[in-house]
RNA sequence: UGGGGCGUCGCCAAGCGGUAAGGCACUGGGUUUUGAUCUCAGUAUGCGCAGGUUCGAAUCCUGCCGCCCCAGCCA
C-alpha cells in the first residue's frame, strides 16, 4: 500500500479515536475487528468496512482482528471461511498471526450465560417461537412477561445444563436475558441469547455443541475477550448498542469496547445484500460468486479491478452516518485511474475488418518497437509485427464521414495506424449482399515515426497484423442491473426483474497482437482505444485465449455521437457504442 | 401514532459560531500518433423548512417537514 494512501482520510470515527487517545482512554491502544459471518462471499460493502477497520488500525499503529462471527451453523460453510481470508488478503490487509472465531469462545460464552443465570439476569423460556413473538408486543405496545420469566435460579441452571446435554428438541426452549419487556427499544424485551440446534455440524466445532449463542450476546463478549477498543458496525445495529452495553456492564467484563455505527454503502445499479447475491448464485443467474459482473471482491478481482482501486474507492466515499447512494462512476473512475497509470498498452481488434496495404511489398514485413506506456518509459518497449495484411476495427471505417468531427478512416481518406504508418483507403470490397469485407489501402512509407508532409492526419486507429494475429474470445460486461436501486425500486418489482439481460456480450473472434500469447491470468492490459482487459482466470488453461473487459476507456466521442443521435443530427454510426458498465 | 438515526451542488463529502474544502459527474479551452491520459477554466449569495439567539449561524435554541432502521430461536 502506498504512503499517500494512508494517513490522509479523516472521518467522525477517527475524530472519536483522536479524542480517546488524547484522554488516554484505552492506554493509547487501538484495536478494531472485521467480523464477517462465513455465510457468503465478501462484497464491495464489506470492502468499505475492511478498509475502515484495517485502515484505522494501520494508521494508529494498532491492530485489526479478522474474526468470523460463526454462531449460526445452519447458514455457514468453510468454503466461505477460506474465500473471505483470500479476499481480505488480496485487498491488501494483514490480520496478523491468525484469524479469530467466535466459536473459539463457545465455552467462555456458555460460562458467561451461566453467570447471568446466577445473577438472576437470564432464564430458560419454554415459549414457542411464535409465542415469544406474541409476548414481545409491537412497536407501539409494550410486551408481556413470559410465564417462565420468574423461574428460580436453580431451576434455570438445571434446565440450561440439560439444554446443553441435548435433552430438549429444537425450538422447545431458549435462554433469554431478563431485561425489560416494556422497553420502548424492542431489542431490550428479553432477547433470546441461546437456541437449540441439533443435527448440524458446525464448520469449526463439529458436533460438540447443540446450543448456539445469538449475535447480540456473542458479539460484545467476543469483542471484550479480544480486547477490542473500537467496535465499528453499520447503522442498523445502533438500536442494539444498549444491549451490547447491557451484557458487558451486567457481567462486569474488564474490557468494554465502544460500539460506533456508520452507514452502510449503497452502490447504484448493484446490490449489497448477501441474501440476494446468494440467490443470484444459487439460482445460476450468474456464473458464481466470482462472476465478473458480481459486486463481490472475488468478482471484481476476476474482472480485473486492482485492489488499490477498491481501496481508493473506499477512501473517496468516506465514512459518515448519513444515507447514501454512490454512483458507479466513482468506482469506475478509481479503476481507470489505477489502470491508466499501471497497465501496459497493447493492440487488439475486437470487430475485425480486413485491410490490405497494396503498396507494401508482398511477402515482406518488419518488427516495430513500440512503448508499453505513453507516459511511463520505465515500462519499457515491445516489438509488434507489421505486414501487408492487417485487421482494423469495423467501427473505425465508414464509407462517408457522417460529419466534420469524424476523424477515423473513410473512403479516399487518410488515417494514422497507431505506432505505424499513415494509410489511405483506395478501394472498398463488398460481398454479394453489399457488406464491406475488405479495404484496399496504400501507405506513406515516410510516416513511420514522422508526421506526413504537407497535410495533417488527425485520426489514429489501432490494428494488428493478420498473419501474426492471435485469435481470442473477449467478454464484454455491462451493469448487472438496469435500475439504480434494484433492491429498493418503488415499482413493486422484485430485484430479479431488474436484471440486465445484456450484461454479458461474448465476442468470439477477436485478433490480438502476438505479445499477448502468454499473458498472465489477472494481469490487466489496456487494449488501446478499447479499454482495459485481463485474461480470464478460470478458463485460460483449458480454452485458448479468453479476455474479460475490466473497464472501458472514457469515451467522449460516444458521448457526442449519442447526443447527436438523440437530436437527429446524424444516423447510427457506431453499432456498438461504448458504454461504461 | 413507540424507539433509534439522518437531511450541505446531480452523486459522495469537508465544515464543529467568523462569512460554503475536495472528489465523481457535467460544460468550455489547450496539449496529444489512444476521440485515452494530462492540463486550464466554469459550476451552491446557499447548507430540508420556519422562527429565534448573536455584531456575525450550515454550525447554538425552538417548532415543523422529509427519508432510513427496529417487532428472527439471522447477523
Contact (Cβ atoms closer than 8 angstroms) between residue A418 and residue A347: yes
How many angstroms separate the CA atoms of A76 and A78, rounded? 7
Percent of chain A with pLDDT over 70: 95
Same domain, yes or no, for A306 and A363? no
SS3 (DSSP) at A261: strand
Write the pLDDT tens digit of every residue in A348-404.
999 999 999 999 999 999 999 999 999 999 999 999 999 999 999 999 999 999 998
Q: Would you say the C-beta of A364 is within 7 Å of strand B? A: no
Write the pLDDT tens digit of every residue in A504-532.
999 999 999 999 999 999 899 999 999 99
Same domain, yes or no, for A480 and A560? yes
Give, in order, the Cα–Cα distances in Å from A205 to each of A41, A184, A212. Answer: 21, 37, 11
Q: Which residue has the cell 453499520?
A: A234
pLDDT at A243 over 90: yes
Q: Would you say the C-beta of A239 is within 7 Å of strand B? A: yes
**Last residue of some domain: A461, A493, A525?**
A461
Q: Would you say the C-beta of A144 is within 7 Å of strand B? A: no
| Domain annotation covers residue A438 | yes
DSSP conformation letters of A490-527: TTS--GGGGB-TTSEEEEEEEEE-GGGTTPPBT-EEEE
Q: What angle do CA A373, A297, A306 make, to 5 degrees?
A: 10
- Banded model confidence at residue A566, pLDDT cuts 50, 70, 90: low
How many angstroms separate the CA atoms of A161 and A159, rounded? 5
pLDDT at A577 over 50: no
Res A572: pLDDT: 39
Grid cell locating A183:
422497553
Residue A2 CA to nucleotide B12 C1', Å? 23
Same domain, yes or no, for A60 and A152? no
How many angstroms separate the CA atoms of A430 and A394, rounded? 13
| Domain annotation covers residue A277 | no
The domain that holds A18 is classified in CATH as 3.40.50.620
Flag the least confident range among A370-384, A480-494, A533-547.
A533-547
Give, in order, the Cα–Cα distances in Å from A573 to each of A256, A403, A570. Answer: 65, 10, 8
Same domain, yes or no, for A334 and A393? no
* DSSP letter, residue A186: G
Q: Would you say the C-beta of A200 is within 7 Å of strand B? A: no
Same domain, yes or no, for A366 and A331? no
Contact (Cβ atoms closer than 8 angstroms) between residue A290 and residue A302: yes
Contact (Cβ atoms closer than 8 angstroms) between residue A561 and residue A573: yes
| Domain annotation covers residue A524 | yes
Strand B nucleotides where any atom sits below 7 Å of a protein CB? 1-8, 10-16, 22-27, 33-38, 67-75
Same domain, yes or no, for A223 and A97? yes
Element (H, E) at A383: strand A381-387
Write the pLDDT tens digit of every residue in A63-90.
999 999 999 999 999 999 999 999 999 9
DSSP conformation letters of A11-80: -HHHHHHHHHHHTTTTTT--EEEE---SSS--BHHHHHHHHHHHHHHHHTT-EEEEEE----TTT--HHH
The domain that holds A127 is classified in CATH as 3.90.800.10
Domain tally for chain A?
4
The domain that holds A425 is classified in CATH as 2.40.240.10
Res A463: pLDDT: 98
Same domain, yes or no, for A204 and A232? no
- Please tell me which residue in A151, A173, A178, A274 is annotated as part of the active site: A274
Residue A323 CA to nucleotide B59 C1', Å? 20
Grid cell locating A182:
416494556
Mean pLDDT in chain A? Answer: 94
| Domain annotation covers residue A522 | yes
| Domain annotation covers residue A401 | yes
Same domain, yes or no, for A91 and A224? yes
Same domain, yes or no, for A339 and A353? no
Same domain, yes or no, for A374 and A333? no
Same domain, yes or no, for A496 and A557? yes
Furthest-apart CA atoms within chain A: distance in Å = 102
**Last residue of some domain: A161, A184, A216?**
A216
* DSSP letter, residue A242: H
| Domain annotation covers residue A288 | no
Choice between A307 and A575, residue whose per-residue pLDDT is larger: A307
Write the pLDDT tens digit of every residue in A248-299.
999 999 999 999 999 999 999 999 999 999 999 999 999 999 999 999 999 9
Residue A320 CA to nucleotide B50 C1', Å? 27
Residue A139 CA to nucleotide B64 C1', Å? 24
**Last residue of some domain: A410, A437, A461?**
A461
Give, in order, the Cα–Cα distances in Å from A220 to each of A64, A229, A373. Answer: 16, 11, 51
Q: Would you say the C-beta of A18 is within 7 Å of strand B? A: no
SS3 (DSSP) at A353: strand
| Domain annotation covers residue A248 | yes
| Domain annotation covers residue A90 | yes
Res A570: pLDDT: 43
SS3 (DSSP) at A196: strand
pLDDT at A564 over 80: no
Nucleic strand B contact set for A 470-509 (CB, < 7 Å):
none
DSSP conformation letters of A570-581: S----SS-----
Res A4: pLDDT: 38
- Residue A227: domain span: 3-101+217-263
Same domain, yes or no, for A364 and A228? no
Flag the least confident range among A6-20, A148-162, A389-403, A404-418.
A6-20
* DSSP letter, residue A351: S
Write the pLDDT tens digit of every residue in A313-325.
999 999 999 999 9
Amino acid at each position: 500500500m502506498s504512503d499517500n494512501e494512508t494517513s490522509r482520510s479523516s472521518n467522525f470515527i477517527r475524530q472519536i479515536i483522536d479524542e480517546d487517545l488524547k484522554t488516554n482512554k484505552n492506554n493509547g491502544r487501538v484495536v478494531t475487528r472485521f467480523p464477517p459471518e462465513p455465510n457468503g462471499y465478501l462484497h464491495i460493502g464489506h470492502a468499505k468496512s475492511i478498509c475502515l477497520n484495517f485502515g484505522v488500525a494501520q494508521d494508529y499503529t494498532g491492530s485489526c482482528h479478522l474474526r468470523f462471527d460463526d454462531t449460526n451453523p445452519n447458514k455457514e460453510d468453510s468454503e466461505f471461511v477460506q474465500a473471505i481470508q483470500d479476499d481480505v488478503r488480496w485487498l491488501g490487509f494483514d490480520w496478523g498471526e491468525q484469524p479469530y472465531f467466535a466459536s473459539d469462545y463457545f465455552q467462555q460464552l456458555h460460562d458467561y450465560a451461566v453467570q447471568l443465570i446466577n445473577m438472576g439476569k437470564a432464564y430458560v423460556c419454554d415459549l414457542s417461537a411464535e409465542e415469544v413473538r406474541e409476548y414481545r408486543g409491537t412497536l407501539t405496545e409494550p410486551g408481556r412477561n413470559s410465564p417462565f420469566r420468574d423461574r428460580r435460579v436453580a431451576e434455570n441452571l438445571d434446565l440450561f445444563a440439560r439444554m446443553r446435554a441435548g435433552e430438549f428438541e429444537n425450538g422447545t426452549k431458549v435462554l433469554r436475558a431478563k431485561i425489560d419487556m416494556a422497553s420502548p427499544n424492542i431489542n431490550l424485551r428479553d432477547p433470546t441469547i441461546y437456541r437449540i440446534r441439533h443435527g448440524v455440524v458446525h464448520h469449526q466445532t463439529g458436533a460438540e455443541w447443540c446450543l448456539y449463542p445469538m449475535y447480540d450476546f456473542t458479539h460484545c463478549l467476543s469483542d471484550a475477550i479480544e480486547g477490542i477498543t473500537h467496535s465499528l458496525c453499520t447503522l442498523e445495529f445502533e438500536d442494539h448498542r444498549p444491549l451490547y452495553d447491557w451484557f458487558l456492564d451486567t457481567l462486569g467484563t474488564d474490557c468494554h469496547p465502544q460500539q460506533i455505527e456508520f452507514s452502510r454503502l449503497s452502490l447504484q445499479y448493484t446490490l449489497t445484500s448477501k441474501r440476494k447475491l446468494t440467490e443470484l448464485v444459487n439460482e445460476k443467474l450468474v456464473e458464481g460468486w466470482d462472476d465478473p459482473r458480481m459486486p463481490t471482491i472475488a468478482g471484481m478481482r476476476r474482472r480485473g479491478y486492482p485492489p488499490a482501486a477498491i481501496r481508493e474507492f473506499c477512501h473517496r466515499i468516506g465514512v459518515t452516518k448519513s444515507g447514501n447512494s454512490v454512483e458507479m462512476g466513482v468506482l469506475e473512475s478509481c479503476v481507470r485511474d489505477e489502470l491508466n497509470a499501471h497497465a501496459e498498452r497493447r493492440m487488439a481488434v475486437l470487430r475485425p475488418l480486413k485491410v490490405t496495404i497494396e503498396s507494401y511489398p508482398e511477402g515482406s514485413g518488419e518488427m516495430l518497437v513500440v512503448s508499453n506506456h505513453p507516459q511511463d518509459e520505465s515500462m519499457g518497449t515491445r516489438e509488434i509485427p507489421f505486414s501487408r495484411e492487417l485487421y482494423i476495427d469495423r467501427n473505425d471505417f465508414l464509407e462517408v464521414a457522417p460529419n466534420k468531427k469524424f476523424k477515423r478512416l473513410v473512403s479516399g481518406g487518410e488515417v494514422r495506424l497507431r505506432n505505424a504508418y499513415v494509410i489511405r483507403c483506395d478501394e472498398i470490397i463488398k460481398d454479394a449482399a453489399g457488406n464491406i469485407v475488405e479495404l484496399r489501402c496504400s501507405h506513406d512509407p515516410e510516416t513511420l515515426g514522422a508526421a506526413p508532409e504537407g497535410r495533417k492526419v488527425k485520426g489514429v486507429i489501432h490494428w494488428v497484423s493478420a498473419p501474426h494475429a492471435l485469435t481470442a474470445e473477449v467478454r464484454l460486461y455491462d451493469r448487472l442491473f438496469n435500475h439504480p436501486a434494484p433492491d429498493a425500486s418503488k415499482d413493486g418489482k422484485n430485484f430479479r426483474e431488474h436484471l440486465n439481460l445484456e450484461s454479458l456480450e461474448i465476442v468470439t473472434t477477436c485478433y490480438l497482437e502476438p505479445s499477448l500469447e502468454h499473458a498472465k491470468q489477472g494481469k490487466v492490459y489496456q487494449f488501446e482505444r478499447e479499454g482495459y482487459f485481463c485474461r480470464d482466470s478460470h478458463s485460460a488453461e483449458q480454452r485458448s485465449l479468453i479476455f474479460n473487459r475490466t473497464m472501458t476507456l472514457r469515451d467522449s466521442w460516444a458521448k457526442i455521437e449519442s447526443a447527436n443521435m438523440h437530436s437527429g443530427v446524424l444516423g447510427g454510426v457506431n453499432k456498438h457504442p461504448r458504454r461504461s458498465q
